[in-house]
Chain A
Amino acid sequence: MSTAVTAPSKISVKALKKSFGSNEVLKGINAEVAEGEVVCVIGPSGSGKSTFLRCLNKLEDVTAGHVTVDGFDVTDPKVDINEVRRHIGMVFQHFNLFPHMSVIENIMLAPVESKKQGTAEARATALKLLQRVGLAEKADARPASLSGGQKQRVAIARALAMNPDIMLFDEATSALDPEMVGEVLQVIKDLAGEGMTMVLVTHEMGFAREVADRVLFMADGVICEEGRPEEIFGNPRQQRTQDFLSKVL
């Protein structure tokens, strides 16, 4: 236990299993993510990529195994999961902005409600974050008036407002029109450049190749192959990996 807590890795996953009823989606996953590392998870639909990601901040309850994030064992019921989640930002495929709040209120909600910041401080931070994603002029707009790309950039700013150590991206560009993918990927790339620890589930192979330090290929609930992007994309060893890449590249 003490070794797990003091391990240098930011995320440590051991023998993770997850079932929905009788359907076993994750069949024993082992993975480590080091501080500042960018890990991309690729694989065919239904392979368990998103479920794996959602187990990292306990949006899904783990059936068996252990997930340790930032020194917290998230599978331990005694651990305050809300505290853990404040260290982990998450970005969703469908943005999930709060439609009844303005853009800046979306970003301020968590810092203010968790009493991490006062309203004025939270507003200043939120404006800085909006500047960073290039949307300062949209602070008082409603999410409904934004384009998909703008929404996703606001969602990233919202996740960053809690100043997380780790960012999780669940197919962050899959719901976007092609011409908007670039602006979102640019923001993610900037984050990677700043040394943020990140796990991304993605279908953007070119992007994965460009920003990932390591790529995990998942199929049928297990990690089939992992390695540096040039290894996975340039010289895949497993037949499953080769089949998948031949279809998407």
Chain B
Amino acid sequence: MKVGLFIPCYMDQFYPQAAIATYRLLLKLGCDVEYPEGQTCCGQPLANAGNEAASRGSYLHFVTMFEKYDYIVAPSGSCVYHVRHHFDTLDQTDAVKKVRAKTLDLTEFLLDVLQISSLPAKYPHKVGLHQSCHGLRGLHLATSSELVNKPAASKLHELLSMVEGLTLVELDRKDECCGFGGTFSVKEPDISVKMGKDRIRDHFSKGAEVITAGDMSCLMHLEGIISRQKIPIKVIHIAEILNSDEI
């Protein structure tokens, strides 16, 4: 099984440690994983800004880059959601269909494909879990709080429960949006920041030392506010926790 690793553009440049953790974790779990170096972007930033037509080229490039892999794994529910749902505007060739079906978020790949039930990970900290919206409601990585599905499930919770020493804090609002929203963060900066502040307060007031999520973009936005307001709390991508062997 050959796995192609897709790393979102901003993670490549600003959060290489989360990308490295994803890569090492997949290696550790015995995957034959490769990072195709010609990769660019899934096209979501332009498309969400209303310019789907302009992102067509990057969609096609994505398909070309990744069609040869059995699975395409990305540490981002948001990019994966974009590929799976919004590449519907392309001609549905066999390559496009395959890429759409086989592109998975890291957490669903670990649980649904590798079917892991334990991890050699240790992270003795109090952690708040932020459910990134596209993973949550787009990929159904968890049961959103609006739905009445019982029992409620959450892939991120399931994976974090495998980590030794980790304590999850209970939040008041378990899946409210952080306010990033791509272009929204700069089109509506006041609400975007207010939403972020409110999320951080929820985590911080429950004693979380660290906020984790499946999407680094949410965390980048929260980190920007945390840093500006000098709040003693950190952000860390879930891949870094799952790959952690901190003693």
> Are A and B physically bound partners?
no
Binding site for A on B (CB under 8 A): none
